Structure 1
Amino acid sequence: MAEFKPVLLSLPSLAPSLAVEVIPFGLTIHRIFVQVDGRTHDIVIGPEAPEDHTVVKYTNTIVGRYANRVPVGTHTVDKDGVSSQFTAITNESPQVSLHGGPTGFDQRAWTQLPSLSSATLFTPAEISAIAEAAPGESSAAIFTLTSEDGDQGYTGRLLLEVLIAVVQPGPGRTTGGAEHELGSVVIVYRAKVDEKAGEKVVTPINITQHWGFNLDASLKDGPDSLSVMNHNMNMKSTHVAELLPNHLPSGNYIPIAEADGGSGAHVHGNKRIGDGFPKGGYDDYYLLSPRPASASPHRIPLSSFAPSLDLVKGLLVGGRRDPVLELSSDRSGLAVEFDTNQAGLMFYTNNWADAKGYRKKIHGGSGVKGDGYIPQSAAFIEFHEPLSAFLYPTTTSTDTLLTSDEIYNNFVRADVILRRVDHTGTGV
């Protein structure tokens, strides 16, 4: 079926160093291929067959309308004098609604627009910038989905458009042959909620890509290649969310140096993920360190959404950035640096992986059920706004509410880098 037919996005080259396979079902990043030194790596985990994403939940899919955990029940929200109610529906436990409810955006068939110019939530100036930065029909695509009023209990008819692009390296990355940028994956999420019977509407929204990275799995040289415990992480964060026993947020944020009794487990200052590894692994939300206001705001007033507005060009071009998080491996020599306009991220180490589930052939699996990934086999890095922020607006940077006179705007950029270090493995 069309929703399981991969869409390949790659750099315009006979031998591209970076390519992405997108599955319209769940808007899933099925593969991120990295070609270096005659080896092919796939740096995200997941099943071999696209159809198996129907049973392998939240693996590289989009999630929403609301990422992470929301208390089950009816909530009243208000923004700029506009009020509404929505009902979060149980799916993880009687108290918890996870990732948008029982049938979230991860379980929906998205549609690729026939052309970039068909988009309505990207301006003509932005479409021109996309075409310039990602030339050819195989470098960028925009996918769309409509979530009707009442979908999973949420208020308002919501139109979504998501740009996924693979773009060339920027200048200034290669330094003395020791480091070489291979390209970038850029995702821009846009959404608009319609008025209802001529009245303004407000709805919660907080979406992200629930993607899981392993930079060594394609080496296939033993159990260590399936684990991210030896990956290095450098995260620019200040606080970690305090979670209740059912994993719902309390609304409090703890300085990372004080979390886990001051063990230092949550201070990811260029250390191995396995160093100070907490019991049960990581499944935590981090607030990122304060940084200059992004040129790409969270919300775009409709009054400012003119044909000449361009908020994407700066995301698609340019040289080296100041990343908010870096994931790297000395074994493969690969690294990924991330930039975003979101206030924080969820970091999860695949603690509940099903070892009898599904694993890609390029990662040493058979492709069929029975030999899945082991716990701690991926670093899930999910950029989104703080947990249940509409309930705790005084402790977070945004209330995660969208009204019908503005457009939701969220981006993440992943720069893929090869570092010339001594490493082992045969790849494929």
Structure 2
Amino acid sequence: MLAPGGRTPVKNLFGKLADGTEIHSWSLENGGTRLKVLSYGGIVQSLEIPDRHGRHANVSLGFDTIEDYVAGSPYFGALIGRYGNRIGDGRFTLDGEACQVGVNDGVNSLHGGAEGFDSRVWDVEPFTAGSDVGLYLYRTSADGEMGYPGTLKVKVTYTLTEHGDWRIDYEATTDKVTVVNLTSHVYWNLAGESGGTIHDHELRIDASHFTPVDSGLIPTGELAEVAGTPFDFRRTKTVGEDIRVAHQQLLYAKGFDHNWVLDKGVTAEPVAVATLRDPSSGRAMTVSTTEPGMQFYSGNFLDATLVGTGGTVYRQGDGLCLETQHFPDSPNKPSFPSTVLRPGQVYRTTTVHSFEH
């Protein structure tokens, strides 16, 4: 439900956690884009955009109930932290001090550990600013949460602009030296979340290098050229064009699940780095970011055990993620852009999703 004209965010009860904590949904609309966000995990429960005929569809994979999200969501639509992606063995050293964080992906740490930001309840405050409408999401991560040092105060701003763009601004401060790498884990299918395979989607990524991984999907530290490999998306091609090539990196990940080293590097303002298009509907999305990397994940581990909001089963390749970020395992790779945050500094990154039809 949206307010008349869609200008004011509307709050509704979505469900309750086992301990009775109420989880709310916030519905926003602006510039033709409709967004529904949960206080649980900052989750994008749905994002609707029109096709070439003006027909709206939800293009974000997700669930209808809070119980499904709690039971075992593969991070559908969630805010990720403290550290997006993987840290090898969950170990790193900061200023000579050894740190051990939560391990939840074999021997490695993934997306902040078993109880990362994706499964926490956020404080949500709606706003309107000029022609924009949005939500402020807040939480404080205590010193030692999931093993991470420092009390981390986080503010994430979701904005829908008058043009229908979805902008995410991340901010964080700490009282001890720590590492931070926040991102969003929306699974996109521009044909609609029940639209089947994304292998026919057309993708371009402005990256001449990627970070190869070992069998545990931890970067080796190499920045490898994409030229002559299935990882070359510098020219637009379908997701499925090279996904079945017998390349060792694709075998490790059962498809694409790698960090692309964006040619632009770290920038003060968002720069367009990727475009995704669904030829069948005409829907297209451009991703702009200040971040130096982007994890492209082709939904390899969706295994027909989950039923989505449209009532259909999600199978392998039914959604893809474009997670703007610093690189995986950066705390253990001094040559990678640093993810260290110190007291007195402010962590700031921005990512914008612009839609066309």
Please give the range of the TM-score, normalised by the shorter of the 2 chains.
0.7 to 0.9
Output the CA distance in 2 between the equivalents of 1:3 and 1:28: 15
Counterpart of 1:374? Answer: 315
Deviations 1:313-367 (A, max 9, x none): xx7xxxxxx6210000110000000100000110111111131312122xxx2xx
Counterpart of 1:19? Answer: 34
Letter in 1 for 2:177: V
Output the CA distance in 1 between the equivalents of 2:206 and 2:59: 22
Matched residues, number: 328
Within 5 Å, which residues of 2 pair with 1:338-417? 338-361=287-310, 365=311, 371-394=312-335, 396=336, 398-417=337-356
Output the CA distance in 2 between the equivalents of 1:373 and 1:73: 30
Shift of 1:111: 0.7
The change in CA–CA distance for 1:268 and 1:230 in structure 2 (over 3 A counts) is farther
Q: For 2:119, which of 80, 85, 107 is the aligned residue?
A: 107
Counterpart of 2:145? Answer: 151
Counterpart of 2:207? Answer: 237
Counterpart of 2:58? Answer: 42
> Structure 1: which 5+ residue stretches go unaligned?
117-129, 170-182, 195-200, 297-314, 316-321, 366-370, 419-428
Q: Which SS does the other structure have where 1:251 is aligned?
A: coil
Shift of 1:56: 1.3
Contact 2:330 2:338 in 1 (8 A): yes
Contact 1:184 1:414 in 2 (8 A): yes
Counterpart of 2:268? Answer: 295
Shift of 1:86: 2.3
Deviations 1:77-120 (A, max 9, x none): 13xxxx65421221111x2111111110011001113x65xxxx
Output the CA distance in 2 between the equivalents of 1:104 and 1:405: 24
- Does 1 or 2 have the higher relative contact order (CA < 8 Å, sep 6+)? 1
The change in CA–CA distance for 1:208 and 1:399 in structure 2 (over 3 A counts) is same
Q: For 1:329, which of 272, 278, 281 is the aligned residue?
A: 278
Contact 1:227 1:376 in 2 (8 A): yes
Residue 249, structure 1, aligned to residue 219, structure 2: yes
Shift of 1:153: 0.4
The change in CA–CA distance for 1:264 and 1:281 in structure 2 (over 3 A counts) is closer
The change in CA–CA distance for 1:380 and 1:77 in structure 2 (over 3 A counts) is same
Contact 1:190 1:408 in 2 (8 A): yes
The change in CA–CA distance for 1:268 and 1:276 in structure 2 (over 3 A counts) is farther
Contact 2:202 2:276 in 1 (8 A): yes
Contact 1:72 1:89 in 2 (8 A): no
Shift of 1:168: 1.3
Counterpart of 1:212? Answer: 187
Counterpart of 1:282? Answer: 256
Q: Which SS does the other structure have where 1:152 is aligned?
A: helix
Letter in 2 for 1:131: A
Counterpart of 1:8? Answer: 27
Letter in 1 for 2:38: I
Which one is further off, 238-247 or 338-347?
A: 238-247
Contact 2:230 2:243 in 1 (8 A): no
Contact 2:87 2:108 in 1 (8 A): yes
Q: Which SS does the other structure have where 2:146 is aligned?
A: helix
Contact 1:85 1:155 in 2 (8 A): no
Output the CA distance in 2 between the equivalents of 1:143 and 1:164: 8
Counterpart of 1:304? Answer: none
TM-score, normalization: structure 1? 0.73
Deviations 1:355-400 (A, max 9, x none): 1312122xxx2xxxxx521111111110000111122122x2x210
Output the CA distance in 2 between the equivalents of 1:353 and 1:155: 33
RMSD: 1.9
Q: For 1:52, which of 68, 83, 92 is the aligned residue?
A: 68
> Structure 2: which 5+ residue stretches go unaligned?
1-15, 245-249
Counterpart of 1:191? Answer: 172
Contact 1:65 1:99 in 2 (8 A): yes
Output the CA distance in 1 between the equivalents of 2:90 and 2:162: 46
Shift of 1:243: 0.5
Output the CA distance in 2 between the equivalents of 1:162 and 1:271: 33
Output the CA distance in 2 between the equivalents of 1:263 and 1:387: 21
The change in CA–CA distance for 1:75 and 1:277 in structure 2 (over 3 A counts) is closer
Residue 89, structure 1, aligned to residue 59, structure 2: no
Q: Which SS does the other structure have where 1:5 is aligned?
A: strand
Output the CA distance in 1 between the equivalents of 2:74 and 2:192: 20
TM-score, normalization: structure 2? 0.87
Output the CA distance in 2 between the equivalents of 1:360 and 1:330: 23
| Structure ID, larger Rg | 1
